[in-house]
Amino acid sequence: MEGLDTGTNMNKKNLDALFDPQSIAIVGASATAGKAGYMAVKLLETYAGKVYPVNPKAKEILGHKVYPSLSTIGQPVDLVLFAVPASECPALMREAAGIGARAAIIMGGGFGETGAEGLKIQNELVAISRQYDMRMLGPNTGGYANPVKRLVASFSVSYSKLPPGSIAVVSQSGGISLILACMLENQGFGVSLTVGLGNSVDVDAADVIDYLAQDSNTRAIALYLEGIGDGRRLYESIRRATRIKPVIALTIGRNAIGDFAKSHTGNLVGSYQIKTAAFRQAGAVVVENSNDLVDAACAFSLLRLPPAADPAIGVLVGQAGAGLLILDQLKSLSINVPHLGEATIARIAEQLPPMHYLNNPVDAGRPTPEFPEVLRILAQDDQLHAIVVFVLHEPTVLDPVAMFRELKPQLTKPVIYGTAGETADMAATCRGLVEQGVAPYTSPERTARAMRALAEDARNRQRLSFQDENRPSSQREIRLPPGRIDEATGKDLCRTAGIPAPEFRTCRDRQEAHKTFAELRKPLAVKVLSADILHKTEVGGVFLNIRTADELDNALQKIDRIPAAGSVAYLLEEMAEPGLDLILGGMRDPVFGPVVLLGIGGTIAEAIKDVSMRLAPIQPQDAAEMLQELRAKVLLEGWRGAPPVNRQAVIDAMLAVSDLLVGCPDIQELDINPLRATATGVLALDALIVRA
């Protein structure tokens, strides 16, 4: 498959030894019930492969022969579980490498997350794992469960209780890998794998995602990530995976919680906005909490919508109130709930008594014997991509399991089914629904949000399918001129990249300024030009609407009085026509590399942080999405009688910034603030470039 390079396949091969080993040795195995080294052996009781407990003193643990050391096993060992203190790990890791083990799981803490001493041990383990091509999970991990193989590589008994299923859970935190798996189990879904990555200094999320993308037991991948090491690698792995199966991502860091996060796995939290932008850009469905993660994963384990630019959703309810909650929720999530076609309405009207709301939602009143037929008709409406149903559970009136069993051959569209009923009734019903390939939800809004996840995935797929024929990026490399970059140089660079700027001149002295004044179209902006002055306005170095020679003199005089470290010149520039001011920028993030930013200009937009981001290089579809993500986007449409902004010109400027960031590694930060956008085009009114 295109996009899966050999590196990826290498990863998968090595990870087989970790997640699907033929044999497992446990160092630190214990005969004392309750100890971690005892639990690790005990939890392997359902495992079909070979188990080799290692302990210098014990003879037998839970019926297994015990080996005094790894070297005395004398049989091939795929995976070694470490249930020993941190300080003992490096020597044992070398011994494991010596007997040809291909993977290790370092459970327990005391490594990089605790300080310098632990970090030293951790670095030693990384060095050994690299030297011997031995993959290492952790340290500071609780291990994993692979219920499909009945394999629990952990000392936590909670991992042993999980039913098999087709959802893979990849979590930075071992605790969350268990919590999510329990939440899935509570909803009647099992996991193909649930793993806590811990400090993830060797095997990281990207490795596991690549592995799971190829794992035939896994239909959906649920991610929980905190801090991220190599953002670009992660992005690429999600990008590869979403081509094959849905990925749902949850992360933290909307608020200042960094101290606590670092204590957990030793990672910095990083920017929430960049993380989620990158996940989305790679095709993942980003969710805001663990419940939405679980709800989306349940739906995706059963179905996935085909690519669609703006999936249209039909809604059918047995209770109008539920329909209102669903409709309000779907619209809040920008989901398209179109009016139904006349033909569909007419056909449904034949099924229902009058007095029902026959549009979208369709209100069936309470379910009647005609309900399945109404659903069938709705699903046949060509414009709809999927259907949301919500019906209060009244088993005497409607058996939803039977309904779907009978409808299945004719049901042409994916359905998300919401219902509410007594606990006792619901368990069997939900199980039955899952067997029919229908994900059940127990509140109107959860039903709607599960559908939103499906729709978002369909949109991502549509966007990414376009990008499979990528626009050629201007790969030519650009070098910044030496020294600090002033506004004039910044604007020249913008122009070279294809972003227009107003007509301007640099003047070294007053005489030159007056000569230039005569040549340019008035009014002018007159600014101080100095690479040493980052904030020209704040030092009183910007004069607008200069129309006369007197006004020019006055401005130049004032500029001359500004204290500046370096050399100062004047920048004279033709004033732009009024329009909407945007902020277009880019920066090099320590985790994700070059990032393009777009925001609305002005203090208010800045105060509410109305900004959208993507990893560079961006594609035209990314740029269009960024515009749509701005909260004040209505201003682009032409506000209070102003004409709409030329979106294509804005998009072209964004692509140019993306090219600049990619082509010119010298740029640490680039700010076009403002980028004046009008009905006809854009102009960079200021450009600030900070060298890397």
- Which of residues 179, 297, 645, 657 is near a copy of itself by CB under 8 A? 179
273 contacts a copy of itself (rule: CB under 8 A): no
Nearest CB to a copy of itself, comparing residues 475 and 603: 603
Q: Which of residues 6-65 bind a copy of itself (CB under 8 A)?
A: none
Q: Which is nearer to a copy of itself, 317 or 571 (CB)?
A: 317
- Of 7 and 321, nearer to a copy of itself (C-beta) is 321
Site for a copy of itself in 467-496 (CB under 8 A): none
547 scored as a contact of a copy of itself (CB under 8 A): no
CB of 445 to a copy of itself, least distance (A): 4
Interaction between residue 446 and a copy of itself (CB under 8 A): yes
DSSP 67: B
What distance in Å separates the CA atoms of residue 667 and residue 477, rounded to the nearest whole number? 12
Our CB check for a copy of itself shows the closer of 171 and 242 to be 171
Q: Which is nearer to a copy of itself, 62 or 420 (CB)?
A: 420
Distance of alpha carbon 403 from alpha carbon 507, whole angstroms: 80
Q: Does 680 bind a copy of itself (CB under 8 A)?
A: no
Shortest separation between residue 629's beta carbon and a copy of itself, angstroms: 13
Three-state secondary structure call for residue 660: helix
Please state the closest distance from residue 639 (CB atom) to a copy of itself, in A.
Answer: 6
- Dist. CA 497–CA 132, nearest whole Å: 47
Q: What is the three-class DSSP state of 663?
A: helix
Q: How far is the CB of 70 from a copy of itself (least distance, A)?
A: 27
Total Cβ atoms within 10 A of residue 288: 12
Q: At its nearest, how many Å lie between a copy of itself and the CB of residue 603?
A: 6
HEC per residue, 605-645: HHHCCCEEEEECCCCHHHHHHHHHHCCCHHHHHCCCCCCCC
Q: Supply the minimum distance, in Å, between the C-beta of residue 131 and a copy of itself.
A: 28
Dist CA 636 CA 582 (whole Å): 10
Q: Which stretch binds a copy of itself (CB under 8 A): 121-129, 178-186, 301-309, 665-673?
A: 178-186
Among 445, 457, 487, 625, binds a copy of itself (CB under 8 A): 445
Q: Which of 164, 421, 644, 681 binds a copy of itself (CB under 8 A)?
A: 421
For residue 116, state whether it binds a copy of itself (rule: CB under 8 A): no
- Within residues 327-356, the interface with a copy of itself by CB under 8 A covers 327-329, 331-332, 355
> Which of 158, 133, 128 has its CA nearest to residue 143?
158
Cis upstream peptide for 523 (omega within 30°): yes
| Stretch of 207-215, 546-554, 586-594, 628-636 lying at the interface with a copy of itself (CB under 8 A) | 628-636
Identify the three-state secondary structure at position 74: coil
Whichever of 263 and 680 has its CB closer to a copy of itself, that residue is 263
The reply on whether position 289 binds a copy of itself by CB under 8 A is yes
Q: Contacting a copy of itself (CB under 8 A), which of 31, 126, 244, 320?
A: 320
Measured on CA atoms in the order 661, 664, 670, 675, is the torsion positive or negative? Answer: negative
| Residue 88 sits in the site that holds a copy of itself (CB under 8 A) | no
Question: Residue 378: exposed, middle, or buried by beta-carbon count in 10 A (0-12, 13-18, 19+)?
Answer: buried
DSSP lists the bridge partners of residue 504 as 573
- Taking the C-alpha atoms of residue 495 and residue 662, their distance in angstroms, rounded to an integer, is 16
Contact set for a copy of itself, span 629-668 (CB under 8 A): 631-632, 634-635, 639-641
**Segment 524-543, which members bind a copy of itself (CB under 8 A)?**
538
Q: Do 467 and 619 contact (CB within 8 A), yes or no?
A: yes
In the complex, minimum distance from the CB of residue 265 to a copy of itself, in angstroms, rounded to a whole number: 8
Using CB under 8 A, pick the residue from 60, 350, 422, 435 that binds a copy of itself. Answer: 422
Of 18-26, 287-295, 406-414, 488-496: span binding a copy of itself (CB under 8 A): 287-295
Residue type, 62: L
To a copy of itself, the closest distance from the beta carbon of 409 in angstroms equals 30
In the window 559-618, what residues touch a copy of itself (CB under 8 A)? 600, 602-605, 607-608, 610
Gap between the Cα atoms of 110 and 103, Å rounded: 20
Q: Which of 13, 161, 431, 515 is close enough to bind a copy of itself by CB under 8 A? A: 161
Q: Smallest gap, in angstroms, from Cβ of residue 415 to a copy of itself?
A: 19
How far is the CA of 355 from the CAs of 352, 358, 361, 364, 469, in angstroms?
9, 9, 14, 10, 51
Q: Which residues contact 12 (CB under 8 A, 6 or more apart)?
A: 210, 211, 214
**Contact between residue 224 and residue 169 where contact means Cβ atoms under 8 Å apart:** yes
Q: Order of strands, edge to edge, in the sheet holding 439-441?
A: 362-363, 313-317, 386-392, 415-420, 439-441
CB 660 within 8 A of CB 493: yes
Q: Binding a copy of itself by CB under 8 A: which of 237, 319, 436, 506?
A: 319
Site for a copy of itself in 208-267 (CB under 8 A): 224, 226, 252-257, 259-261, 263-264
**Shortest approach of a copy of itself to residue 425 CB, angstroms?**
8
Q: Does 674 bind a copy of itself (CB under 8 A)?
A: no
Residue closer to a copy of itself by CB (options 130, 161) is: 161
HEC secondary structure over 276-345: HHHHHHCCCEECCCHHHHHHHHHHHHHCCCCCCCCCEEEEEECCHHHHHHHHHHHHHCCCECCCCCHHHH
The least CB distance from residue 359 to a copy of itself, in Å, is 7
Stretch that binds a copy of itself, among 228-236, 240-248, 289-297, 644-652 (CB under 8 A): 289-297
Cβ-contact 47, 152 below 8 angstroms: yes
CB neighbour burial string for 301-325, b if at least 16 within 10 angstroms, e if fewer? bbbbbebbeebbbbbbbbbeebbeb
| Residue 628 engages a copy of itself in binding (rule: CB under 8 A) | no
> Is 361 a binder of a copy of itself (CB under 8 A)?
yes
Number of residues this chain uses to bind a copy of itself (CB under 8 A): 86
Least separation, in Å, of the C-beta of 324 and a copy of itself? Answer: 5
C-alpha distance from residue 371 to each of 94, 176, 403, 434, 442 (Å): 66, 40, 9, 20, 19
Number of C-beta neighbours around residue 25 at 10 A? 26
Which of residues 514 and 647 has its CB atom nearest to a copy of itself in the complex? Answer: 647
75 scored as a contact of a copy of itself (CB under 8 A): no
Single-letter code of the amino acid located at 439: A
